[in-house]
Amino acid sequence: ITEAVGKIRGPKDTEVKLTLLRGSEQVEVTITRSDIKVPSVDYKVENGGICYIAISRFSDDTDTIVKEAASTCKSQNANKILVDLRNDPGGYLDQAIRVASHWVDQGKTVVSEKRGGVVIKAHQAIAGQEFKGLKTVVLINGGSASASEILAGALKDYGLATLVGEKSYGKGSVQEVDPLSGGASIKITIARWYTPNDKNIDKQGIEPDEKVDVTVDQIKAGQDPQKQKALELLK
């Protein structure tokens, strides 16, 4: 998929020809490239007063949309939260901190950066605890990484949410890129992320409270046992 996307992408208003296979027939179509803006968060109010918030990545609009979700859910009397972080590869650290602050008390540590076992920086929650006290379940899987693990880890450690699904990816390193001669560069790990209870995220991941696997057959059949389990816990 990544290779295909790389070939399709290009300057705005230029054309790209695609060859599609429909059954045994090949069809060629020409499309014009354009800017595509996909929100990083999708949300809706489900039956039972459940506010479902799916975060696909942590980009610069994530916390803004989560705030919109909080307002919408409140206006519709939703008092339970289901956060879907499955296959969320991460993104901006500051957005993870801001989103975590909807649950974590202001001033409490959301994640720490450690080097050689010593804390070099602690990232703390800011004001804005819109979801404080609301029953919350978070969905994670092996595709949940980096910033999504920071959010899941903080909510789990503070007892603010129940995690459902599969163990997360385990991407918890802080890296910097240093230039070398000849135009080359080297990426160096300078620290690692730790949850509030001092758990190293890197290469270890976050374990769910309720482990629920999903099979290929279930996916093909449109079934989602992980979300179903989460909805049961929120009843």
Residue positions annotated with a catalytic role:
146, 157, 171
Instruction: Fill in the amino acid letter for 44.
Output: K
Rounded-to-integer distance, Cα 210 and Cα 216, Å: 20
Rounded-to-integer distance, Cα 203 and Cα 117, Å: 16
Q: How many CB atoms lie within 10 A of CB 29?
A: 9
**What are the φ/ψ torsions at residue 75 (nearest 5 degrees)?**
-65, -25
Task: Say how many residues make up the chain.
Answer: 235
Helices (H), the chain: 2-8, 62-75, 93-100, 147-157, 216-220, 225-233
